[in-house]
Structure 1
Amino acid sequence: MPEEKEETKVIGYRPLTEEQKRLMNKAKELGNQLGEFIENLNCSTEFDADGRCLAIARTEIQTGLMWLNRAIAQPETFC
């Protein structure tokens, strides 16, 4: 008889619905596409993008994605 798998609970988070998982995965997919786009701009030999602006864009997008995922997951605690 197979053993039942015990689900690991992350403190402050409730189990996610399938829709929440789908939305979070979509946000991560889009975030990775943006990160790749920024990296391509940074490495471009055809276009000289401002490195400081790219670094700020990278950081702000990461912050925005964190908030987007918190909006989807709706954690129950402060951190």
Structure 2
Amino acid sequence: MENQHQKIKGYRDLSQEELDLMNEIKKQGQVLEDLVKKLRERGNSQFIEAKNHGVETEDWSENHRLLQARPLRWINIAEDHLQQGLMALTRAVAQPTTF
């Protein structure tokens, strides 16, 4: 359905400049999502490598370091904050008048 936003309270038509900005935000969101995925894969690999090293050598120091540093937790926090930031940018452009 065309112009659905007109039927939603607090929404308005956007100018071409605003549409372009919204698309730029979405584009940057994809870049950030890809980066988060890459970092999460790296973090998971680090844990697997540390566990394998510990099993083979009984040296668990890297595993303990990772457990203390909690990189996956920080990646999750970053993901949440990046999503919040992108949503804030989207609202800054769209300027809805509702809560």
Compute the TM-score of the two structures, normalised by the length of structure 1: 0.80
Structure with the larger helix share: 2
Question: How many percent of aligned residue pairs carry the same amino acid?
Answer: 38
- 1:20-73 residue CA offsets vs partner (Å, 9 max, x unmatched): 11001101110110111010111127x748100000000000001111100011
1:34 corresponds to: 32
**RMSD over equivalenced CA pairs, Å:** 2.1
Q: Which runs of 5+ in 2 are unaligned?
A: 47-69
Does 2:87 correspond to 1:66?
yes
Number of positions where the alignment pairs a residue of Structure 1 with one of Structure 2: 73
1:7 corresponds to: 3
Secondary structure, aligned partner of 2:96: coil
2:97 corresponds to: 76
Letter in 1 for 2:3: E
Distance 1:39 1:24 in 2: 23
2:22 corresponds to: 24
1:6 Cα offset (Å): 5.5
Q: Which runs of 5+ in 1 are unaligned?
A: none
**Structure 1 segments of 4+ aligned residues over 4 angstroms from their partners:** none
